[in-house]
Structure formats: structure tokens, C-alpha cells
Chain A
């Protein structure tokens, strides 16, 4: 991974996925603070095109919601296969979040005067 990028789950506290009924899937990306939430929103990495590519769905069907009060980004789209049908691999869509969690995002630039150290998930700012 290039120095200036990391993955979404290095910044988000949790990325989860679940069915919203048998025909739709919904993912929630939780952040601890407004800073991280705004940074990821403004980076535009979570876009209909990016979701469409990750999950092989039509970007026009992808719905993205910004919940500023909760610092959550929600992504919903129709399931490619109906839950419980022959081709279904994940009845509850419980494991599909790993694709979004692995999305490449830029590393947040350090505020001026900060000391950089190397951690197991890349650089971290003290």
C-alpha cells in the first residue's frame, strides 16, 4: 500500500453490512468523531461508482446517506441475488462489509507540529 493511502477500516470504528429485507443490502460506516467522518466524506472515496465497482451493482441504484449527527455514512443498494435464492452466498449479507472495509482511502494529513510514529496499521499521529 502506498504511504499516502490506507483502508477505510483503519479510519472507521466499524463497518457493518446486513439485509434491509430480502432484496436490499445496507452498509453502515461508523466514525468516532466528526473530523474523521468529514474527511472520508470529502475525500469522495465512498461514491456510487466505487460501490458499484466493489459490489458489481449498477451505480445508479446505489443510495448513500450522510448522518452527520451520528458520524455515520450509510450505503444501500439492491442485492444482486435475492436472499436465500440458489446463487446466494450470504443469507443475511453479514459478511459483505469486508469489501467496503478494504476500500482504499487517503491517509489524513497530520496537523502541523504533530509527531509521526509507525504503527501496525500504518502511520499514526501522536
Chain B
């Protein structure tokens, strides 16, 4: 008796992995993109982060891109507009917020992928409870996108509470994701291990 596979036949094994954009040496003096995926907490998180980054990296400049609704990146034209923004703003790096629910985490990976396609290294800010969600969404799209789970907490929009989480150590960790050299796997040249 043969069973028909009711699931998608193309598994992770067949997924082509794209190389991430090369990282930068440091953030000071760089043009830093702040990507707001349209989720409620993204705007205050990026506002607070912007202030702290300006203090920490006085020679850096900033550009922001805000989505009105998180799912609009399903429209290929609007997703392409993210890549175009990263190119036109001549970003050196980009920080995306926020992954704190199912669909916003999914669509933040889509947005960060679009920025990586412009050759700009990215890091997504994700609530720790959505780490696996981030990983699986990113890998299914073929991009081993980097992320940080210390900077944000789901649905927190109070500026003071946000600032409490953005400690010097957390800012260092975010910088590390944008400066730490890529591994062979992240460059898409290592054999798959799953």
C-alpha cells in the first residue's frame, strides 16, 4: 500500500542558500538604515534605538523606511521598493524592527531579505519567543538572516521600557551582527547540514 505525501514535497534540503551581504568593519561613520515593518512597536523601538545609536556613533548618519502595514511586502512591487530604498539611500547597514508576532516576524524576514539583496548587511530585532519563527521563515526563503533577541520585548511600546532593554551590551551585540565576518555557511558555500 502506497501513501501519498500530503505535505510539500520540496523540503529544506532542496533550498538554495543565498550569501549574506558582507559585513562592515564598524558602525561609526556608516550610513545606518532603520527599517520599520509596520508593527505597532517598531516605531518607538527604532526611535529609541536611533537616539542611542546617534550617541554611540556620532559620525554615523541615518535613513528610515516605514511600512504602513506589515503584510504589504507580499506585493512584489512593494518588496522591490525596499531594495530600491536601501540602494538609493546608499546604506552601509540596516537594522529592522520588529519581530514580535507571527506575521510581523515573517514579513520582517522578507524585508531584511530585500535589503540584503541590495548588498546591505542586516540584523532583525526579534522577541526571544519568536526566534524559531525567524529562523524557519528566513531559511525557507533561502536567507540565513542574522537577528538579535535581546533588544525587544513583544508589544512593548513605552519608550522608557524600550530604553531599559537597549543596554550598552545589547547595542554591542547588534553591532556584532553587522560587523562579525560571515561564516562559510552564511556565504552560501558550505554543504547543507540539514
B is bound to A: no
Residue numbers of A with Cβ under 8 A of B are none
